[in-house]
């Protein structure tokens, strides 16, 4: 027994000593969500795109504030209402040495709709391109069916693969065979569920990354991810849990970088049905006339919420109160929309005006494992509503059950908590998906689970989506949002602040789109 | 013996069939996987295309028949999330979990039996009392808490061991395993310890009980009277008798550790099957859930069968009869 114990101890020490100290040029990143594939066209999922952005490049890149900047395309402009011309960058080489030309763009456009069994395809970003025309190896024109000012945003959302990979199956990307891109890092290894290993692309067309070897480790458990940072096993982590925020901020070994993100947390209200399943009288019988159809009732609910208290006490400062659909600084945001001030007396007055002096009964629903502190936020809102006379029950469920029940065709709930990250970095994204009247064929209102409908907003939005002039579109979008919020199409709660924690000696350019990119991690000078 | 084995395997097939039906219906009732998988800004047309691509537009009974048809040829369907065969996905992750389970079992047995034997041999010594108190802590403390404590103490504060993940692997006898590298051993120590804790406590208490039961028996007295050394009596004769209940329990525990090391795998980000199943449940990846449970049930059946046979080998008083109720 003694011999065995001594052997075991020796092995542990030897392992510890022999553990390779990462060379100063290596980086290990702690990611928070599972990556399901290296194929950049297989699944439109943030973690997958996050990894793919290291290996592949789009024609148009987005900076930390989601503003468009040149990627593989050096300039682009609308030469008429339905034609866009893109000039491509010269001298870009793929990881296997082949030259990047317009043929690779065409191959990408052909592959995206072809990828078999995609659970969520990138087709939504390429279907705006009705046809393309290659003028020369470095110039390509896209034609749209109608004026489509968001084409550059869509183009920035898909990644370019080599023409050799046009018919490569997803498995070839996961094994590395087809994972040839023009990105700052080249693919080395993908261990599903564990890590992705990358190496610097020495002939990258953009600024040379600081890291020779990058390991993206997947550590979904929040505490384990923070522990890995504190132990020095990783040098940067994303999705810092809000409870750890204060402690990490005061930790001398850790640097925090943060930015207000593009994610809105809001309440969707059933303003469609005359009788909504969870809107009842105080005894529990469903009310014959749904009070949520009255804008005054919706506004009363919004006034009853103390957004600052939620942000301070529940989110621990990792959010800011919301008054619109996107925070300041994003395209289309109206400066007139401020967070609704906390006013329970005003809320009671509105309720009385609307004919509900004694309030009514309500159950509010939400997920408990999807957004940061989602369950706690709902549990705080429940009593806030009860305070103005609306007896509120709170019911939260796991995301998988919740979202299935809340969406078409079931529409099981009356008041629902949801989040929305505006991928396009501008206001038309939430307006179109959350507030526009659901219309399958026009692709509007895809996530409008309260089925809110306001023809004025629809008209403004429709015009805006076809206005190529930026200034005019900005004004139209601002107007549309103002009308929608005045009518309380949704009740905005807060915008999330995206937080990254790095070890002292490293810093990260925090991004509004929540991506964690190794090429944006820099050593301190 | 042969009739016993055949009857057992027949029962196993029935269990597998019923279980697959229950899981299929159960997962279907939870919700629509497309809502979970689809990008939020996808429009309704994209949703419908995804539903058709995953075969979810067909009625439930038709989906089940398609599944059964595939199952007969060994194809348990493609994962909705990864788009590779569900069985391949599970088998890909199995070595990591088996490594962890095996290491945990070895630790539990290697540490537990000696400690338990000492506690049984000298029950009133202070060390024995400490061991027994420790064993109570071992099966009372929640696994996730112990795991996080181990990480905090050994990885963050002392910095002796890595805090997360699986180490480098090397190929030994044709199998890729992380037990073959120093880095791998460093990574596996904490999770294996965490996983072993419950088993360890069980083994200690069982061994001690076995010792206390066997030491006063007549055959021990006669053996000592004959002149055999205490060492030989304990480590050869009593040991074999203790092993009987121990083997049964360790076998059962091994099965449940392999199948459900979810908590340890989640905390230590160990890329094994346990983590796969919890992720698949959260994402409603039905083919993987069904395939996983089929694999696990088969594994339990085999382990139970092996334990029963081993039992009859160890204890000549036991006769395997096919009317015996096994559970």
B34 interfaces chain A, CB cutoff of 8 Å: yes
Contacts of A55 (CB under 8 A, 6+ apart): A38, A40, A95, A179, A181, A183, A185, A186, A187, A198
Length of chain A equals 525
ipTM score of the complex?
0.81
A454 sits in which H/E element? none
Sort out which chain B residues have CB atoms less than 8 A from A444's CB and list them: 43
A 10 A CB-CB count for A456 gives 12
What does the radius of gyration of chain A's CA atoms come to, in whole angstroms? 25
Nearest residue in chain B measured CA to CA from A34: B279
Interface of A with B in 456-515 (CB under 8 A): none
N- to C-terminal Cα separation, chain B: 18
Strands A361-367 and A279-280: antiparallel
Whether A126 contacts A44, CB under 8 Å: no
Contacts of A373 (CB under 8 A, 6+ apart): A242, A314, A315
B170 interfaces chain A, CB cutoff of 8 Å: no
CA B307 – CA B297 distance, rounded (Å): 15
The two structure tokens encoding residue B289: 């859930």
Nearest residue in chain B measured CA to CA from A407: B35
Interface of B with A in 62-81 (CB under 8 A): 78, 80-81
Sort out which chain A residues have CB atoms less than 8 A from B151's CB and list them: 224, 227, 231
Strands (E), chain B: 170-172, 175-177
CB pair distance less than 8 Å for B35 and A120: no
Which pLDDT does position B327 carry in this prediction?
A: 45
Which pLDDT does position A19 carry in this prediction?
A: 42
Length of chain B equals 327
A398: nearest CB among B49, B81, B282: B282
CB pair distance less than 8 Å for B269 and A219: yes
CA A342 – CA A244 distance, rounded (Å): 28
CA B263 – CA B194 distance, rounded (Å): 10
Nearest residue in chain A measured CA to CA from B274: A193
A45 interfaces chain B, CB cutoff of 8 Å: yes
B84 interfaces chain A, CB cutoff of 8 Å: yes
CB pair distance less than 8 Å for A121 and B165: no
Chain B: closest CA distance from residue A193 (Å): 5
Contacts of B164 (CB under 8 A, 6+ apart): A217, A219, A224, A225, A227, A228, A233, B151, B155, B268, B269
Interface of B with A in 273-292 (CB under 8 A): 275-276, 279, 281-284
Phi, then psi, of A69 in degrees rounded to 5 = -140, 160
SS3 state of residue A97: coil
N- to C-terminal Cα separation, chain A: 52
A228: nearest CB among B45, B53, B164: B164
A194 interfaces chain B, CB cutoff of 8 Å: yes
Chain A: closest CA distance from residue B165 (Å): 7
Report residues of chain B scoring pLDDT below 70.
260, 319-327
Chain A: closest CA distance from residue B79 (Å): 10
Interface of A with B in 388-447 (CB under 8 A): 398-401, 403-405, 407-408, 420-421, 423, 429, 433, 438, 440-441, 443-444, 446-447
CB pair distance less than 8 Å for B269 and A4: no
Contacts of A154 (CB under 8 A, 6+ apart): A125, A126, A128, A129, A424
Residue with tokens 């055949």: B6
Sort out which chain B residues have CB atoms less than 8 A from A154's CB and list them: none
A7 interfaces chain B, CB cutoff of 8 Å: no
CA A472 – CA A465 distance, rounded (Å): 11
Identify the DSSP state of A286.
B
Nearest residue in chain B measured CA to CA from A194: B271
Whether B87 contacts B175, CB under 8 Å: no
Residue with tokens 């789109």: A513
Residue with tokens 């550790």: B257
Interface of A with B in 257-316 (CB under 8 A): none
CB pair distance less than 8 Å for B38 and A120: yes
Kindly report the CA angle at A42 between A49 and A71, in degrees rounded to 5? 45
Residue A202 burial by CB count (10 A; 0-12/13-18/19+): exposed, middle or buried?
exposed
B142 interfaces chain A, CB cutoff of 8 Å: no
A193: nearest CB among B186, B276, B282: B276
Structure-derived torsion over alpha carbons of residues A344, A348, A351, A353, reported in degrees to the nearest 10: -130
Q: Is the peptide bond before A371 cis (omega within 30 degrees of 0)?
A: no
Identify the DSSP state of A158.
S
The two structure tokens encoding residue A453: 């409908």
Which CA distances in Å does B116 have to A445, B134, B143, B229?
65, 11, 22, 20
Whether B204 contacts B221, CB under 8 Å: no
A 10 A CB-CB count for B160 gives 17
Sort out which chain B residues have CB atoms less than 8 A from A447's CB and list them: 40-41
Which pLDDT does position A200 carry in this prediction?
A: 95
Contacts of B237 (CB under 8 A, 6+ apart): B219, B220, B223
Mutation site for B-interface testing, chosen from A119, A122, A405 by largest number of B Cβ within 10 Å: A119
Interface of B with A in 185-244 (CB under 8 A): 185-186, 189
Q: Percent helix, strand and coil across chain A, each rounded to 5? A: 30, 25, 45
Which CA distances in Å does A53 have to A90, A181, A198, A240, A350?
20, 10, 12, 21, 49
Strands A68-70 and A73-80: unpaired
CA A220 – CA B264 distance, rounded (Å): 12
CB pair distance less than 8 Å for A124 and B49: no
A244 interfaces chain B, CB cutoff of 8 Å: no
A251 interfaces chain B, CB cutoff of 8 Å: no
B114: nearest CB among A1, A170, A438: A1
Q: Running along chain A, 525 residues long, what does each successive block of 10 average in pLDDT?
A: 52 45 78 91 90 95 91 92 93 93 94 86 88 94 91 92 90 90 94 90 93 94 92 93 89 93 94 91 90 93 95 92 92 92 94 92 92 93 94 91 86 93 87 90 86 94 89 93 94 94 93 93 85
Whether A476 contacts A426, CB under 8 Å: no
Interface of A with B in 437-466 (CB under 8 A): 438, 440-441, 443-444, 446-447
Which pLDDT does position A21 carry in this prediction?
A: 45
């Amino acid at each position: 027994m003694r011999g065995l114990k001594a052997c075991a101890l020796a092995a542990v020490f030897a392992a510890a000593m022999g553990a390779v100290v990462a060379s100063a040029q290596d980086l290990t990143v702690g990611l928070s969500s599972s990556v399901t594939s290296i194929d950049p066209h297989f699944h439109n999922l943030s973690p997958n795109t996050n990894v793919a952005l290291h290996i592949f490049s789009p024609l148009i890149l987005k900076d930390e504030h989601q503003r468009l900047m040149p990627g593989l395309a050096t300039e682009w402009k609308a030469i008429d209402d339905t034609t866009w011309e893109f000039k491509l960058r010269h001298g870009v080489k793929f990881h296997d040495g082949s030259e990047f030309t317009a043929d690779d763009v065409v191959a990408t456009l052909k592959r995206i709709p072809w990828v078999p069994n995609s659970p969520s395809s990138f087709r939504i970003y390429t279907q705006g391109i009705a046809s393309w025309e290659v003028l020369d190896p470095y110039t390509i024109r896209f034609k749209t069916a109608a004026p489509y000012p968001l084409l550059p945003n869509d183009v920035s959302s898909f990644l370019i693969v080599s023409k050799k990979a046009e018919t490569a199956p997803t498995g070839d990307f996961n094994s590395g065979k087809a994972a040839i891109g023009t990105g700052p890092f080249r693919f080395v290894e993908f261990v599903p569920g564990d890590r992705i290993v990358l190496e610097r692309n020495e002939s990258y067309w953009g600024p040379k990354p600081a890291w020779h070897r990058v390991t993206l480790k997947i550590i979904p458990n929040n505490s384990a991810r923070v522990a890995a940072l504190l132990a020095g096993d990783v040098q940067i982590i994303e999705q810092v849990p809000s409870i750890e925020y204060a402690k990490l901020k005061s930790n001398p070994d850790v640097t925090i970088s943060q930015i207000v993100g593009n994610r809105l947390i809001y309440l969707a209200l059933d303003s469609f049905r005359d009788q909504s399943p969870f809107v009842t009288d105080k005894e529990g019988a469903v009310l014959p006339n749904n009070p949520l159809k009255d804008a005054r009732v919706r506004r009363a609910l919004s006034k009853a919420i103390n957004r600052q208290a939620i942000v301070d006490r529940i989110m621990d400062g990792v959010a800011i109160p919301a008054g619109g659909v996107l925070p300041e600084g994003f395209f289309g945001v109206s400066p007139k929309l401020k967070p609704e001030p906390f006013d329970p007396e005003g809320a009671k007055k509105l309720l009385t005006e609307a004919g509900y002096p004694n309030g009514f009964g309500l159950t509010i629903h939400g997920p408990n494992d999807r957004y940061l502190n989602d369950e706690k936020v709902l549990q705080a809102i429940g009593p806030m509503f009860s305070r103005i006379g609306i007896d509120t029950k709170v019911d939260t469920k796991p995301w998988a059950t919740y979202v299935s029940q809340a969406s078409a065709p079931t529409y099981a709930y009356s008041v629902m908590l949801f989040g929305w990250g505006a991928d396009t970095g501008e206001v038309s994204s939430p307006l179109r998906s959350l507030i526009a009247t659901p219309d399958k064929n026009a692709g509007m209102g895809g996530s409008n689970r309260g089925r809110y409908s306001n023809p004025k907003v629809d008209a403004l939005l429709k015009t805006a989506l076809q206005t190529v002039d930026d200034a005019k579109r900005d004004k139209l979008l601002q107007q549309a949002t103002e009308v929608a919020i005045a009518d309380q199409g949704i009740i905005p709660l807060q915008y999330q602040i995206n937080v990254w924690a790095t070890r002292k000696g490293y810093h990260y350019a925090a991004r509004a789109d929540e991506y964690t990119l190794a090429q944006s991690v820099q050593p301190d000078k | 013996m042969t009739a016993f084995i055949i009857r057992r395997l027949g029962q196993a097939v029935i269990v597998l069939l019923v279980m697959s039906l229950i899981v299929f219906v159960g997962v279907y009732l939870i919700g629509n996987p497309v809502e979970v998988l689809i990008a939020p800004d996808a429009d309704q047309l994209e949703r419908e295309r995804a539903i058709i691509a995953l075969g979810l537009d067909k009625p439930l009974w038709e989906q089940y028949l398609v599944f059964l048809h595939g199952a007969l040829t060994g194809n348990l369907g493609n994962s909705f999330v990864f788009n590779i065969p569900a069985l391949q996905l599970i088998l890909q992750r199995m070595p990591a979990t088996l490594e962890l389970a095996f290491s945990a079992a070895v630790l539990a047995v290697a540490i537990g039996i000696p400690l338990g034997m000492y506690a049984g041999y000298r029950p009133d010594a202070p060390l024995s009392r400490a061991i027994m108190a420790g064993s109570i802590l071992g099966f009372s403390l929640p696994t996730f808490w112990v795991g996080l404590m181990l990480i905090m103490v050994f990885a963050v504060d002392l910095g002796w061991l890595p805090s997360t993940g699986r180490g480098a692997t090397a190929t030994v006898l044709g199998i890729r395993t992380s037990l073959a590298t120093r880095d791998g051993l460093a990574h596996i120590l904490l999770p294996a310890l965490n996983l072993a804790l419950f088993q360890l406590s069980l083994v200690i208490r069982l061994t001690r009980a076995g010792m206390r039961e066997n030491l006063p028996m007549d055959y021990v007295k006669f053996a000592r009277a004959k002149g055999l050394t205490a060492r030989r009596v304990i480590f050869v004769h009593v040991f074999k008798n203790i092993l009987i209940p121990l083997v049964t329990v360790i076998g059962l525990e091994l099965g449940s550790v392999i199948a459900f090391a979810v908590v340890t795998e989640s905390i230590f980000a160990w890329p094994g099957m346990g983590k796969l199943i919890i992720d698949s449940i959260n994402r409603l990846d039905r083919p993987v859930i069904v395939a996983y449970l089929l694999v696990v049930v088969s594994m339990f059946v085999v382990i139970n069968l092996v334990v029963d046979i081993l039992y009859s080998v160890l204890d000549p008083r036991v006769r395997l009869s096919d009317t015996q109720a096994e559970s």
